[in-house]
Amino acid sequence: MAHINYKHFTLGIEEEYMVLDPESRELKSHEQKIVHEGQKVIKDKVKAEMHQAVVEVGTDICQNADEAFNDIGILRKTISGIAESLGHSMGASGTHPFSH
């Protein structure tokens, strides 16, 4: 059996967050304000999505799972803080449970 050198493998994480109204928990358009403010801090690690109530983040290329876990934690904290400062909440799920 051939030996695999796992040091050649890298990984990264992308996540999409729903922008929510903090009271009703309904999807809320942020008109790219979160993306614009996020790019000031985390540069190209935050991107707009076609849907105005979604924000995408992505880590750099990571050498191992610990590095990826740390990077995505920083991105989550940064984006949720920006959203909160703009009067929004953030959520993550495959689909929104009640919005159409």
Task: Give me the pLDDT at residue 100, please.
Answer: 61
pLDDT, residue 87, reads 97
> In angstroms, rounded to a whole number, what is the distance separating the alpha carbons of residues 51 and 40?
21
pTM of the full structure = 0.85
Give the integer Cα–Cα distance in Å for 76 and 74: 6
What does each of the 100 residues of the chain score in pLDDT, given as a tens digit? 677 776 778 999 999 999 999 999 999 998 899 999 999 999 999 999 888 899 999 999 999 999 999 999 999 999 999 999 999 999 987 776 677 6
Could you state, in order of their start, the residue ranges of all structural domains in the chain?
A: 22-91
Angle at 79 between CA 55 and CA 70, to 5 degrees: 110
Residues 98, 96: Cα–Cα separation, whole Å = 6
- Beta strands of 1-100 (E only): which ranges? 14-20, 46-48, 54-58, 89-91
Residue 3: its pLDDT value, please?
74
List the Cα angle 23/24/30 in 5-degree steps: 85
